[in-house]
Amino acid sequence: MKVVYSDTHKDHDPQLFMVRGKLKRSNEQPERAFRLLEAVQREGHEIVATRDFGAGPRAAIHTPEYLRFLANAYARWQLLDDPSEEVMPNIHPFPGQPCTYPDSVVGQAGFHMGDNACSIGARTWEAAIASANMATHAAQLVLDGERAAYALCRPPGHHAYADRANGFCYLNNVAIAAQHLRGVHDRVAILDIDVHHGNGTQGIFYRRADVLTISLHGDPRNFTPFFIGHAHERGEGEGLGYNINKPLALGTDIDGYLPALRDACDSIRAYAPGALVVALGLDAHERDPYKGMKIQTAGFAVLLAEIARLGLPTVLVQEGGYLSDDLGPNIASALRGFESAA
């Protein structure tokens, strides 16, 4: 399988991440991508250098105000009196209340950053652009005839909304890939198997029928993102029925996960899309630091084989999966499983 990769991500190494009121280094570290890259190289997959697709693909998903903010926030932040090294919000709009877009970078940070897990450093914007280009390039490879392609994206993207960063994510790579595929296909499906709900992806396509979004994830009643990702969220307007959430109990293993995945695949078959984008989170693994589920390394081969049996042109976009000795073996298992059934 062709693997699209850029090392531009390496200088994006966020140090500010608030967990239960404590600041620590982010779990979303450059070493993640290096371990994934090493594993796919060891497996013999072809590494393809990322092509620059320009501003169009990200502008098709994200608002102009948000893109301007991401491009300029760090430089503007450093002009403040006694700023932190990275941009991190300290105030947010109140839900349901009138909201005026602020002039101040401090106010804009609160408007455009959904939590304290997506701080912006000196090279975050460049890394996010490269990551979006990886997803777009993988989608283009599939449009050009590849059965599947893997975008080794970092930073990840599925928590990013059209106008808001969230949960380590800045540009929504999965949404960007799906929109690129829509240039050829009337209908595209997104299947998210990250342990966390793809809330940004849901938000982007919630009122659209041309992109089916399905997410399997830890039950948000007691797992981030908490406020969204529940089973009753089915879409709105033209999109009603085209958003499917399958919350799973924390600690779910392969025996509990596989029936939900098969049901999701049946929904994709009924939708009959021209192509599929998979938000490939590896953080459902039993030893991932987030400890949400108990999928073993061999289980990723089983899950990806099930997805491959859909027989669709498929873009695999890297999402979660955090530092452990199992990260490399997990991606190797996943790609082997997909190719065994493709």
pLDDT digits (tens, 9 = 90+) for 35-76: 999 999 999 999 999 999 999 999 999 999 999 999 999 999
Listed in sequence order, the residues at least 6 apart from 52 whose beta carbon sits closer than 8 Å to its beta carbon are 133
pLDDT for the residue 97: 87
Q: Are 116 and 89 in contact (CB under 8 A)?
A: yes
Residues 6+ apart with CB under 8 A from 311: none
Q: What is the mean pLDDT of residues 159-175?
A: 98
Record: fold of 2-63+123-340? Arginase; Chain A (3.40.800)
Task: Enumerate the active-site residues.
Answer: 159
Average of per-residue pLDDT across 323-338: 97
**pLDDT digits 0-9 by tens, 191-228:** 999 999 999 999 999 999 999 999 999 999 999 999 99
pLDDT higher than threshold 90 for residue 95:
no
Q: How confident is the model at residue 342 (pLDDT cuts 50, 70, 90)?
A: confident
Average pLDDT value over all residues in the chain: 97
Averaged pLDDT, 81-88: 97
- List the chain domain ranges: 2-63+123-340
Question: Is the pLDDT assigned to residue 96 strictly greater than 90?
Answer: no
**Per-residue pLDDT at 126:** 98
Residue ranges of alpha helices (H) inside the chain are: 30-42, 56-59, 64-77, 105-112, 124-143, 173-182, 199-205, 254-271, 297-308, 327-341
